[in-house]
C-alpha cells in the first residue's frame, strides 16, 4: 500500500472513530440508560417490560451536525490547550529568524515562534488550518549548536509544509479525550477499589449521582474501552509516517542530514518520556522526540542562548558522522524504553538516524533525495 493511501486510510478511520464516539455517547445516555431505568420501573410495577434500544435519540442529520461540532471543538480547544502557559517571544530572536528563513525556503506562511523557559530540551508544533506555532524550550537552545538548532526547526517547518500539523493536533487530543472518557466511565470501580484516590469531583459525583455512576460503569464503559486503543493505533501510524517525512524534509531544506542526526542523538540522551499519566503523555506525539510539552514564561533574549556558529560548537560533517557512528555502535541512551528506542508515538531514534545517514550519503554522491 502506498504512503498516501495508507494515510488516507488512517484519516478515514479517525473521522469514523470520532463519529462513532459521538454516536456511542448519544445512544448510551439517550437510549440505553433511560431504557434500563424506565424498563426496570415498569417491570417492578407490572411484571413485564418492552424496551426498544435499536434507535437513536436524535435524527442522523443532527448526529452529523454534532460530529462536525465535535471535530471543530477539537481544532479550537486543542490548539489553545497545548499553547496555554506559553507566551509569544521576541520576533527578532535567533530562533525566530531561523524559522522565518526556513519558511521562505519551504514556501509556507511564517509560523509563530514561542520560547519557554524550561530545562527540558523540547520542540513541537501545533496548528490550525490558518496558522501554526512552533514552541522551543531554553533547554533545547542550550543543548544544540546552531546547525543542529536549524535542523530541528527545519524538521518542524517540514511538518507545516506537509500539512500534518493540524491533523496531529486533533489526533493527539482525541486520544486524550477517549482515554479520559473511558477513565471517567470507570468511576464506580475506582470508588470501590481505591476510594482514597478519588478527586473532589469524583467524590461529589459518587455522592450525588451514584445511580448514574453505576449505570455508566455497567452500560457505558464497555462501549468506550475500544476507542483509546484504536485512537492510539491511528496516532502511532500517523506520527511514525510524519516523523520520517519531516526528517527527510528537514534534510533537504538544510542540506545537512547529519546535523539533524546529531541533534536527535543529543535529545534522545537528554529527554525522558512522561511516566506518571499516560493520558497526558499522549501529547508527546507533537514533539520531535517523545517528551512532555514544555510551557512557562517567554524568553526575551533567546538569541544569547544560541551557541556561536564557529569553533568547537559547530563540528564539521566528518565530526558529525563520527558522532553518529559512535552513538550507533555504542549502547544507545535510555535503553529502558525511552526516546532512543522509540515509543508508541515515535519511531526509534536509532532508525531515524540511520535514515538520515543514508540521506547524507545520497547528498554526497549527488543523488536526488
Active site residues: 156
Cα 116 to Cα 122: distance, rounded to the nearest angstrom: 10
- How far is Cα 183 from Cα 222, in angstroms, rounded to an integer? 11
The residue among 123, 128, 127 whose CA lies nearest residue 142 is 123
Instruction: Please give the order of strands across the beta sheet that includes 123-127.
Output: 112-116, 132-137, 123-127
Span between the terminal Cα atoms of the chain, in Å: 21
With beta carbons less than 8 A apart as the criterion, state whether 142 and 136 touch: no
- Write the DSSP symbol of residue 52: -
φ/ψ region of 60 (left if φ > 0, alpha if ψ in -120 to 50, else beta) reads: alpha
Question: How many helices, marked H, and strands, marked E, lie in the chain?
Answer: 16, 3
**R_g (Cα) of the chain, nearest Å:** 24
Strand partners, 108: none
Query: Would you say how long the chain is, in residues?
Result: 369
DSSP-derived letter for residue 336 is T
Amino acid at each position: 500500500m502506498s504512503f498516501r493511501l495508507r494515510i488516507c486510510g488512517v484519516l478515514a478511520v479517525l473521522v469514523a472513530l470520532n463519529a462513532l464516539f459521538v454516536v456511542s455517547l448519544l445512544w448510551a445516555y439517550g437510549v440505553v440508560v433511560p431504557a434500563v431505568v424506565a424498563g426496570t420501573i415498569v417491570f417492578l410495577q407490572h411484571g413485564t417490560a418492552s424496551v426498544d434500544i435499536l434507535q437513536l435519540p436524535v435524527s442522523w442529520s443532527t448526529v452529523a451536525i454534532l460530529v462536525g461540532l465535535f471535530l471543530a471543538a477539537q481544532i479550537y480547544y486543542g490548539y489553545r490547550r497545548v499553547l496555554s502557559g506559553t507566551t509569544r517571544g521576541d520576533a527578532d530572536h535567533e530562533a525566530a529568524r531561523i524559522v522565518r528563513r526556513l519558511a521562505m525556503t519551504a514556501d509556507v506562511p511564517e509560523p509563530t515562534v514561542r520560547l519557554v523557559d524550561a530545562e527540558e530540551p523540547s520542540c513541537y508544533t501545533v496548528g490550525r488550518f490558518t496558522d501554526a506555532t512552533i514552541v522551543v524550550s531554553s533547554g533545547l537552545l542550550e543543548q544544540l549548536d546552531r546547525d543542529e538548532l536549524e535542523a530541528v526547526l527545519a524538521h518542524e517547518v517540514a511538518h507545516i509544509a506537509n500539512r500534518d500539523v493540524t491533523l496531529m493536533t486533533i489526533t493527539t487530543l482525541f486520544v486524550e479525550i477517549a482515554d479520559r472518557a473511558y477513565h471517567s466511565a470507570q468511576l464506580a470501580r475506582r470508588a470501590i477499589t481505591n476510594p482514597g484516590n478519588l478527586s473532589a469531583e469524583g467524590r461529589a459525583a459518587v455522592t450525588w449521582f451514584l445511580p448514574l455512576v453505576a449505570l455508566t460503569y455497567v452500560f457505558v464503559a464497555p462501549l468506550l474501552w475500544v476507542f483509546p486503543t484504536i485512537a492510539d493505533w491511528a496516532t502511532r501510524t500517523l506520527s511514525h509516517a510524519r516523523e520520517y517525512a519531516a526528517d527527510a524534509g528537514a534534510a533537504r531544506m538544510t542540506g545537512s542530514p547529519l546535523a539533524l542526526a546529531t541533534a536527535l542523538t543529543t535529545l534522545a540522551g537528554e529527554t525522558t518520556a512522561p511516566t506518571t499519566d499516560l493520558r497526558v503523555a499522549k501529547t508527546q506525539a507533537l514533539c520531535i522526540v517523545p517528551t512532555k510539552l514544555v510551557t512557562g514564561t517567554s524568553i526575551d533574549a533567546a538569541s544569547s542562548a544560541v551557541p556561536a556558529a564557529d569553533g568547537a560548537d559547530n563540528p564539521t560533517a566528518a565530526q558529525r558522522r563520527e558522532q553518529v557512528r559512535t552513538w550507533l555502535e555504542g549502547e544507545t541512551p535510555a535503553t529502558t524504553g525511552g526516546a532512543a528506542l522509540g515509543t508508541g508515538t515515535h519511531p526509534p531514534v536509532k532508525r531515524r538516524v540511520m535514515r538520515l545517514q543514508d540521506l547524507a550519503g545520497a547528498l554526497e554522491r549527488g543523488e536526488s533525495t
